[in-house]
Amino acid sequence: MKFEHTSVLLEEVLDNLAIRPDGIYVDGTLGGGGHSYHILERLTEGGRLIGIDQDTDAIAAAGERLAQFGDAVTIVHDNYENIAGVLSDLSIRKVNGILLDLGVSSYQLDNPERGFTYRTDAPLDMRMDRSSSLTAREIVNTYSAEELTRILREYGEEKCAARIAANIVKRRAISPLETTGDLSEIVRASIPAKMREKGGNPDKRTFQAIRIACNRELDVLRDSLDTMIDLLAPGGRLCVITFHSLEDRIVKNAFRRAEKPCTCPPEFPVCVCGKKSKGTVVTRKAIAPSAHELEVNRRSASAKLRVFERAEI
């Protein structure tokens, strides 16, 4: 299956990265190389792009797509949480821009064998990095009812989390859950008919929650943002595209703390905590897709772009 993915908020990303032709840029979620291709087009001699992805299918597809740029591009198989180590290995101290396009690619969703989608019956996998040992199958068949409830409630904002978790545990006592169809069947049986009629496909929240847990998505994001801001050269920008409220909240709060880190009580006349601002939140309000983009790519509907600019030193 060919790796295809439409780059979301492409023009908005390119504008907000404020690309310098001789700058160094990192695409921390390389995917098929869509955003990176257009960044590389804007680079001249001395300009460089480092693409990071944990999915070997993405690495292969991006390698083909970006081959024409030669030494200007370096592709690394890793998780963006290790960006500091990746750049250190390449003897790069600071970069002019970093992009994260979070969530699941169209390729991953549309390829049944990856186990991300509830639309096709396939093995329960959901790993973005297929060298990882933890799969969705292991989560649903070994985690306690309490832990499953927490995952579904916290990562999927699922109101019927406890009921779904209880039914998963009851079902696996008879035989293990093996496929996405097995999980979907339990979700639908656990949610009252009136609730199933509202809010789209009832599987979506549960599948999202288990995918996030399987790939540690929110923990990786939360633990990486400050490091990325620190890796920016003065005037460098960090652009993050999120696809649900949990990710967006983490990015929004991290950017706000980086801009205004002072922890002094408001009644203090001057700051004594000594924490200095790292820069400015460029996007007071998240950037959403245009009406035209929504028309041509319905999967962009929930996308939001937030941008942070590193302070001049």
Amino acid symbol at 38: H
Q: To the nearest whole number, what is the mean pLDDT of the chain?
A: 93
Domain ranges (residues) in the chain: 10-107+217-310, 115-215
Query: In the predicted model, is pLDDT for residue 140 greater than 70?
Result: yes
Q: What is the mean pLDDT of residues 48-76?
A: 96
pLDDT at 157: 93
What does the angle CA 307 – CA 309 – CA 313 come to, to the nearest 5 degrees? Answer: 170
Distances (CA, A) of 210 to 139, 241, 292, 297: 8, 21, 32, 25
Query: In the predicted model, is pLDDT for residue 44 greater than 70?
Result: yes
The percentage of residues in the chain with a pLDDT greater than 90, rounded to a whole number, is 80
173 Cβ contact list (under 8 Å, min separation 6)? none
Of 177 and 111, the one with more pLDDT: 177
pLDDT tens readout for residues 230-254: 999 999 999 999 999 999 999 999 9
Q: 5: pLDDT confidence band, cut at 50, 70 and 90?
A: low
DSSP string, the chain: -----PPTTHHHHHHHHT--TT-EEEETT-TTSHHHHHHHHT--TT-EEEEEES-HHHHHHHHHHTGGGGGGEEEEES-GGGHHHHHHHTT---EEEEEEE-S--HHHHH-GGG---SSS--BS---SSTT-S--HHHHHHHS-HHHHHHHHHHHH--TTHHHHHHHHHHHHTTS---BHHHHHHHHHHHS-HHHHTSSS-THHHHHHHHHHHHHTHHHHHHHHHHHHHHHEEEEEEEEEEESSHHHHHHHHHHHHHHH----S-TT-SS--S-PPP-EEES-SS-B---HHHHHH-GGGTT-EEEEEEEPP-
pLDDT tens readout for residues 173-221: 999 999 999 999 999 999 987 777 676 788 999 999 999 999 999 999 9
Torsional sign, CA 99, 31, 66, 88 = positive
pLDDT at 2: 52
- Pick the closest to residue 216 from 88, 102, 77 (CA basis): 102
pLDDT at 200: 72
pLDDT at 4: 56
CATH fold for domain 10-107+217-310: Rossmann fold (3.40.50)
Secondary structure of 50-109 as H, E, C letters = EEEECCHHHHHHHHHHCHHHHHHEEEEECCHHHHHHHHHHCCCCCEEEEEEECCCCHHHH
Residue whose pair of structure tokens reads 């897709």 in the numeric block: 289
pLDDT at 273: 84
pLDDT tens readout for residues 257-293: 999 988 888 888 888 888 899 999 999 999 999 999 9
CATH fold for domain 115-215: DNA polymerase; domain 1 (1.10.150)
